[in-house]
A = this chain, B = another copy of it.
Amino acid sequence: MSGCPFHFSRRGFLSALGIAAAAGGAGLGAGIGATAVADAVSGGHGKAEPFYAAQQGAAHQGGIATPPQSHTYFAAFDLVTDKRDDVIALLKKWTESSARMAKGMPADAIAPENAADTHDSGDALGLPPSRLTINIGFGPTFFVKDGKDRYGLASRRPEALVDMPAFSGDQLVPEHTGGDMSVQACADDPQVAFHAVRQLARLADYTAQIRWTQAGFASSPPDGGTPRNLMGFKDGTVNPARPDYDKVVWAGREAPDWMQGGTYLVARRIRIALEHWDKMKVPFQEQVFGRQKLSGAPLGGKKEFDIADFNATDADGNSVIAENSHMRLAAAVNNDGAQILRRAYSYNNGVNVTAERWPPWREGMEYDAGLLFLCYQRDPRTGFIKIFDKMSKFDIMNQFVTHVGGGLFALPRGARQGEFIGQGLFV
């Protein structure tokens, strides 16, 4: 096969393998030239992200430090086996299939080559790799569930993988919370992201099953600026600088071997009362965020990336950035330097019947939409938990947002070619 392996379409790959001809006799080959050309001009959308970590240097999973893709599909799985070997086999299958799909290949060969009972579902055939990344994590219940050490791994549970404390205002729905394992696919195409998770779920049959899922989207302006969330504000302006990732994002020597280079993911499905929010005047919305709506600048500042002046006061002596504003409470300087890498997506699950909790009270069909908040950190105790404990009590934004689900997962370091994700846990 010619050309860069990180830049070809699924269709091209299939044709190259002769699969198309075998499974129906269709003349797919005729389309390859056009596809290759289209790929070449489609810019970032068509490209592939590497799945395996480089042989040298730190090994990380994808979709964390990767520049954010425009779509995600997140799934939490529960293991339904008691056999350690089943888990190992699952991780091997997931690793190999993920690596294939990241290149734009099907998860496994399509019949008739494939004698297995099932095969890639085919809905991503012809679509480019779309910068697909897949990362895999372990929840606390992976190690011990209902007091049971199913896989002889209880002693391997990292200290940092704590049982998530209950926060003020939490309304977590058990069916949408937790999970033994996490799988997150990110891609510049929603069909590619869902396809990837669906293949892993299929390959997990009788070993693991989906507990909950959430699709998300985040549209970046064409000038590469910060995307806006559904509240209409820029989301992600303040994130750790890349040189600080070793300090803030990646687990270090304090962690077990298999976690060094890994990270801890906190996921929270945050429903936003958009109908209420839309009734608020812009100056009030800006007080809630502590930022200007249009520019994203901190109040009192002029540009998005201006440093916030938390000491500034107005003529009446009130803080320019309110004491209970979201941004003030979240800022590292107000949290002993605590930082997390945020990589959030908006979600939209349609509408359902909800009672509003803000006047004018109304009960009716309201958006089940908001933020799929995803953050990555070296240790959740000094990251999300530390920061959010305070925010859950004082953030004025809490009038508009409700945490309805989520989970905490340990994402081991990335696999190098020949390894599988989480391999270090089983040696």
Contacts and interface: CB of A to CB of B under 8 A. Distances in A.
Interface in A103-131: 110-112, 117-128
A121 B230 contact: yes
Interface in A202-227: 202, 209-215, 217-219, 221-225
A214 B128 CA distance: 26
A243 interface: no
A343 interface: no
A294 B349 CA distance: 31
A253 interface: no
Interface string A354-378: 0000000000110101000000000
Interface stretch (A33-41, A309-317, A328-336, A384-392): A33-41
29 contacts: A11-B221, A19-B294, A23-B282, A24-B292, A25-B292, A25-B302, A26-B295, A26-B297, A26-B302, A27-B303, A28-B294, A34-B224, A35-B222, A38-B223, A39-B222, A42-B222, A110-B294, A111-B282, A111-B283, A117-B279, A121-B230, A123-B231, A123-B232, A126-B223, A127-B222, A190-B219, A209-B364, A212-B351, A215-B350
A348 interface: yes
Contacts of A215: 348, 350
A198 B117 CA distance: 44
Interface string A61-102: 000000000000100000000000000000000000000000
A196 B95 CA distance: 40
Nearest to A299: B24
Nearest to A218: B191
Contact of A27 (B20, B230, B279, B302): B302
A200 to B, nearest CB: 12
Interface string A183-198: 0000001111010001
Question: Considering the complex of A and B, which 7 residue pairs feature the smallest CB-CB distances, nearest first?
Answer: A26-B295, A122-B232, A38-B222, A24-B292, A126-B221, A191-B219, A34-B223
A228 interface: yes
A402 interface: no
A279 to B, nearest CB: 6
A215 B39 CA distance: 27
Given A26-B303, A121-B277, A214-B350, A112 B31 contact: no
A322 to B, nearest CB: 16
B228 A123 contact: yes
Contacts of A350: 212-215, 349
B128 A222 contact: yes
B302 A122 contact: no
A345 to B, nearest CB: 10
A233 interface: yes
A59 interface: no
Nearest to A283: B111
A123 B286 contact: no
B123 A296 contact: no
Given A222-B46, A274-B198, A297 B24 contact: yes
Contacts of A230: 121, 123, 194
A287 interface: no
B23 A219 contact: no
A121 B232 contact: yes
A281 B128 contact: no
